[in-house]
Amino acid sequence: MRMVARYVVAVLRFVAHQSLRLSVAALGFTVLAAGAVMLVTPGPGLLVIIAGLAILAHEFAWAAAALDKAKARAAQAREAARRRAPRRAQPPPSGNVD
């Protein structure tokens, strides 16, 4: 009887783990797809894609590698935008002190 109980517990653990993995995958791919749609429609597409990869990276090694690449590209884009953006002149301080 104990052997059957151990087997049932092992099967339940396996099913629970696979259910969690499937749920994370479904959520991650849904967020990733929403980000892809946002690339051509108004919305923060790249940020949502990175969020989808972060969700998928909890369960899949390939998603973790893709997330690292996406973070590196985002950092490069941020630096390029900072270099290209004109510097705003600071307004002169007002002499009126209340």
Confidence category of residue 27, pLDDT binned at 50, 70, 90: very high
Nearest Cα residue to 39 out of 26, 27, 52, 21: 52
C-alpha pair distances (Å), 50 with each of 46, 80, 86, 93: 6, 19, 28, 41
Residue 64 CB partners (closer than 8 Å, separation 6+) = 57
Model pLDDT for residues 39-65, shown as the tens digit of each residue: 899 888 888 998 999 999 988 899 999
**Cβ proximity of 36 and 45 under 8 Å:** yes
What are the domain boundaries of the chain? 24-77
Q: Is the pTM of this model over 0.85?
A: no
Whether residue 80 is predicted with pLDDT greater than 80 in this model: the reply is: yes
